[in-house]
Amino acid sequence: MTNKILERKKTLRNKRKLRVKGKIFGTALKPRISIFRSNKYLYAQAIDDVAHKTLVCIDGKKINMGNNKEDAKNIAKVFAQNLKQAGINEAIYDRNGYLYHGVVAAFAESLRENGIAL
């Protein structure tokens, strides 16, 4: 891809990210779950925006799981267990500017299947 196309993709993702992030806000009882997809791995964290703290996080790289649908479901299962241990049963899902399909949707659906209300 040319640099012009890559810059356009970055700009559009940043616009989506800011549009979504302006509407959601996490608290200690109902944190914001933000995800990040790299080319190889998937990362997620539960954030308390009031105190500016990360409550629970998971790193796909540390548990040797990649960035595909099956691994996203397994990462979400482990993440849901960590959230329950922290006493969190309800959260707000921040797709972080990514379109809601594929890995992003599989992660959210798996969280719901494992008892986290989004």
Question: In sequence order, which residues have a C-beta less than 8 Å from that of residue 71 and are 6 or more positions away?
Answer: 42, 60, 65
Q: What are the structural domains of the chain? A: 3-113 (3.30.420.100)
Q: Are 4 and 11 in contact (CB under 8 A)?
A: no
The per-residue pLDDT for 61 is: 94
Taking the chain (118 residues) in runs of 10, the rounded mean pLDDT of each run is: 90 88 84 94 95 94 94 96 95 90 96 95
Token pair for residue 109?
A: 């659906």
* Alpha carbons 72 and 65: distance in angstroms, whole number: 8
Strands (E), the chain: 32-37, 42-48, 53-59, 92-94
Where residue 96 falls (left for φ over 0; alpha for ψ -120 to 50; beta otherwise) is left
